Amino acid sequence: MSQTTAPAHRLADWDGDRLLGLADEHATPLYVLDLDRVRANYRRFAEAFPDAHVMYAAKAHTGRAVLETLLEAGADIECAAAGELKRAVEAGADPNALQYTAVNPPGRDLDYAVDLAAEHPGLTITGGAADTFDRLAERGYDGRVALRVNPGIGTGHHEKVATGKDAKFGVPTDRVSGMAADLRDRFEFVGVHAHVGSGVLREDLDDHMEAISQIADLARTAAGGHGLDFVDIGGGFGVPYRPEEDALDMDEVARRVRRAVGDLPGRLKLEPGRYVVADAECLLTRVNTVKEAPASTVVGVDASLATLVRPAMFDSYHHIRNLSAPDRSREPVSVGGPCCTSADIFCTDRPVARPERGDLLAVGTAGAYGYELANQFHSQPRPAEVALDGSEERVVRRRETLSDVTRLEQ
């Protein structure tokens, strides 16, 4: 099997004994990050697109350990906020190689990006509204810019991530030519950008390729006979969250992308995020309550929607495994956390090896938008995160304390 068609990293592939030991040592809830898997996922993607410029979309997971690992592997970083720019620089990224994709950017974010570009003129700022470019010009900026376009087609696992058809993102097709001409007059116009959705698997590929083809057409329109440094088609390629789902064959995906884009006025650029980190992390949580209810067995755990919000926000599926007793008989259970809302649920009536109080459960494919969306709802401290790097392991984020929860209050 080639590196580009390597199988997905399933929850069953994690070393259960090692995870049990980590939970005993570091307590729960606990995020466990596999840096070897991060490297392998990036390498597989980059090898499928050897002639393209591959940037990691930092918003999927901005942890220092992830950014440092990917920079060492040769990735550049795409950022969607000033905080992500700062994280990337502190992790060792060359600011001249960064791309900042501004979506309705606060003034302080533009200030930070413009100040950074003043010292590092290779930084590229992407905008999807005339107002954004006017605000850049008002700050004296005349450097590298890219235009985000909206192809009118959205793809992905949920309507909330189908950005390609959301008016919030990018310039409508009928304004691309005029906007591009204006940018060429006022800035160093270097590229066209779009991102149409996230979590794309096999059943979504046809729509995704149609959207990519339209992005390529818009890029040729924007170029207007001039050259561009790049045409950025974003990321969006997904990983299987359910055990029965197949992983993408990135060789096949790359062939279809090349057919969809045709001849471009600049170098192809892609921004995988989820693909790189999603299956490289799992969440460990301890059972504290088992309650027999009329409709099902309710299993209470110490993780919550404050720890992993994707099931509540996107109705997302995350595979759950009972590490303490994987061979125990399976029965339908509903697993939820300690938050006072019915949205705080990880699964409903799902067959799991029957949990008992004290058992350790693993929640799979938690690396993308897992810790990144962790919060302090109900004044819950955010969990610790441990990184595995071969046989080594280290705490890369300590567990918050109750004092940390109130630390910023005056």
Q: pLDDT-derived band of residue 151, with 50, 70 and 90 as boundaries?
A: confident
pLDDT value for 203: 86
pLDDT at 263 over 50: yes
Q: Is 347 a catalytic residue?
A: no
Contact between 77 and 98 (Cβ < 8 Å) = yes
pLDDT value for 198: 73
Q: Which of 167, 229, 168, 231 lies closest to 194, judged by CA? A: 231
Cis check for the bond before 29: say yes or no (omega within 30 of 0).
Answer: yes
The active-site residue, picked from 79, 339, 340, 347, is: 340
Q: Could you give the C-alpha distances from 321 to 13, 18, 344, 360, in angstroms and in order?
A: 11, 14, 18, 9
Average per-residue pLDDT in the chain? 93
pLDDT value for 3: 45
Q: For every residue of the chain, which 3-state class applies, written as one string?
A: CCHHHCCCCCHHHCCHHHHHHHHHHHCCCEEEEEHHHHHHHHHHHHHHCCCCEEEEEHHHCCCHHHHHHHHHHCCEEEECCHHHHHHHHHCCCCHHHCEEEECCCCHHHHHHHHHHHHHCCCCEEEECCHHHHHHHHHCCCCCEEEEEECCCCCEECCHHHCHHHCCCCCECHHHHHHHHHHHHHHCEEEEEECCCEECECHHHHHHHHHHHHHHHHHHHHHHCCCCCCEEECCCCECCCCCCCCCCCCHHHHHHHHHHHHCCCCCEEEECCCHHHHHHHEEEEEEEEEEEECCCCEEEEECCCCCCCCHHHHHCCCCCEEECCCCCCCEEEEEEECCCCCCCCEEEEEEEEECCCCCCEEEECCCCCCCHHHCCCHHHCCCCEEEEEECCEEEEEECCCCHHHHCCCCC
pLDDT at 155 over 60: no
- 330-380 pLDDT per residue, tens: 999 999 999 999 999 999 999 999 999 999 999 999 999 999 999 999 999
Phi first, then psi: give them for residue 270, nearest 5 degrees. -130, 155
- 202-228 pLDDT per residue, tens: 888 998 899 899 999 999 999 999 999
**What would be the CATH architecture of the domain defined by 279-405?**
Beta Barrel (2.40)
Superfamily of domain 35-274: Alanine racemase (3.20.20.10)
pLDDT value for 6: 55
How far is C-alpha 222 from the chain's CA centre? 28
- 1-48 pLDDT per residue, tens: 334 445 688 999 999 999 999 999 999 999 999 999 999 999 999 999
Q: pLDDT-derived band of residue 153, with 50, 70 and 90 as boundaries?
A: low
| CA atoms of 389 and 150, how far apart (whole Å) | 40
pLDDT value for 5: 44
pLDDT value for 57: 97
pLDDT value for 408: 94
Residue range(s) occupied by CATH 2.40.37.10 in the chain: 279-405
Q: Could you give the C-alpha distances from 98 to 92, 193, 348, in angstroms and in order?
A: 11, 14, 42
> Six-digit token pair at 144?
């590298």
pLDDT value for 161: 41
The predicted model scores a pTM of 0.93
Range 270-282 average pLDDT: 97
Range 96-100 average pLDDT: 98
**Interacting residues of 12 by C-beta distance below 8 A, sequence separation 6+:** 243, 321
pLDDT value for 160: 41
Percent pLDDT > 70 in the chain is 95
pLDDT value for 1: 34
Of the listed ranges 145-154, 305-314, 373-382, the one predicted with least confidence? 145-154
> Six-digit token pair at 205?
């590929």
> Six-digit token pair at 193?
């950008």
| CA atoms of 297 and 279, how far apart (whole Å) | 28
- 106-143 pLDDT per residue, tens: 999 999 999 999 999 999 999 999 999 999 999 999 99
